[in-house]
Amino acid sequence: MPTNLPTTVFAFLLTLGLVVIVHELGHFLFCKLFGVYVKTFSIGIGPKVLRKRWGETEYVLSAIPFGGYVKMAGEGLMEEIQDTGTWEERKYPMGTEQGNAEAAGMDDHIPLERHFHSRPPWQRLLVFIAGPLFNLVLAFVIYTLLVLSNGLQTIPFTTVGEVVADSPAAAAGLVVGDQLLTVGGQEVHTWSEVTSGLVPAANAERGETPPVAVTVERDGRRLELTVSPFFDAEKGYWQLGLSPWNTTVGLVQKGGPADKLGLRQGDIILRVAGRPVTSFGGVADIINESPDQEIKIDWERDGQPMSGVVVPANTEVAPGEFKGRIFMEPFFGYQKVGLGESMVLGYRRTAETIAITAGVLGDFVKRKLGLDAVGGPLRIGQAAGEMLRWSFSHLMYFVAFFSINLFLLNLMPIPVLDGGHVLFLLIEVVRGGKPVPERLQAIATQVGLIILLLFMTFVVVLDVWKVTGH
């Protein structure tokens, strides 16, 4: 058994299990809130492996971990599909008293008012969207707790490690090795204080900022310089042209090339492939251009010089784009923040992830990205395992990201997904309370299910090819 397989399996099951449980819990709790009779709460789909009845609901662990379901009395079409995988046309349409009674079948002991289709449209809508919304809430809670427990990530250095030619920093006279002491008259101790001082938020929103006075220490002397940042409208960000001197090793992924080389957190990298480095970007540039090639790294640990040879892994960093990676991070410090600020930062991270994910989905629709960029269960498991080998916090960030992906995907108006149910419900409301004919629902659901199964099959085959190279 490969060394990483147990870690990967555990990370995959934890990721999938957490997001599925929370998703189905959303549907379940809103059913209970509105008095809908829940017959089955299942984690997983397919054959039932473990089952236990508490009260009126049977709680089930099913064989296939990719999903789950909440089966409600009087759900009609989907209830039958969950039971038998088939559907038969009814004499009476759903939404009528006769149709609801017919859909209940052997459930005539359950009061009609507790059947799902007897509930008002707004309650059924909330039941449908509760699952995706709970995935969104899960992501927000994870992001908030991570910031609260770990702190706000900072770079605890203010020494200049890189100056870009023809940049505002170069024009100001800053050079590699300068230690920034004050920016805009305020003492600075972290790189985020440097950047926020050079580009105040109030001015950044207006797209302008006045020249900023900085004090630096160079070769034991203090110098007063002036930096004039400018906004690059084409690239959409402020141009400063300087990076911190940070070649200190942060987290190292267990089992990765850097770990096997012997690099540890706190080591200071001096040279890569014989070339002196003064910024983590400089370290990464050399490694990125050297996949599957032996390169020598010289570093210092507690004042003692060390060196070794490493082979960067040829890693796909974007669809069709490969670079060398040794799987280590720059060193970061962490600044403790309170619950209020953690919630604000958690909200911002959630909103940013939604925007990024929606942008990727938009690129698929516009055909800017191909289906080879889609990750199925194998690559999801592989990614989860890699995150856990970094740290448990990394895995939790991945869970939050994955949960937001499910939030958006489940709201797509495709039959068999929550968004498809919402679409049918909205059509019902527009038709004055007349449900979409079940024959039409059945055809749409079966077509959607076939498309979804074909897509999943394609993704699994692509996964195998990507992961194994065959």
The burial class, CB within 10 Å (0-12 / 13-18 / 19+), for 165 is: exposed
Q: What is the mean pLDDT of each run of 10 residues along the chain (470 residues)?
A: 74 91 95 93 87 91 83 69 45 49 57 87 94 96 96 92 92 95 93 87 56 93 91 74 93 94 96 94 94 95 95 84 92 93 95 88 69 67 89 94 90 84 88 79 73 64 54
Between strands 242-244 and 321-325, the pairing is unpaired
Selection from 69, 83, 72, 82 nearest residue 34 by Cα: 72
- DSSP-assigned beta bridge partners for residue 131: none
Q: How far apart are CA 195 and CA 232, in angstroms?
A: 16
Q: How far apart are CA 434 and CA 432, in angstroms?
A: 6
pLDDT of residue 395: 94
pLDDT of residue 437: 78
- DSSP-assigned beta bridge partners for residue 57: 54
Q: What is each CA distance from 400 to 57, 349, 406, 409, in whole angstroms?
A: 29, 10, 10, 14
Q: How far apart are CA 355 and CA 460, in angstroms?
A: 27
The burial class, CB within 10 Å (0-12 / 13-18 / 19+), for 5 is: exposed
The distance of Cα 230 from the centroid of its chain, to the nearest Å, equals: 32
Three-state DSSP class for 294?
coil
The burial class, CB within 10 Å (0-12 / 13-18 / 19+), for 76 is: buried
pLDDT of residue 84: 43
pLDDT of residue 363: 72
Q: What is each CA distance from 285 to 70, 251, 280, in whole angstroms?
A: 50, 18, 9
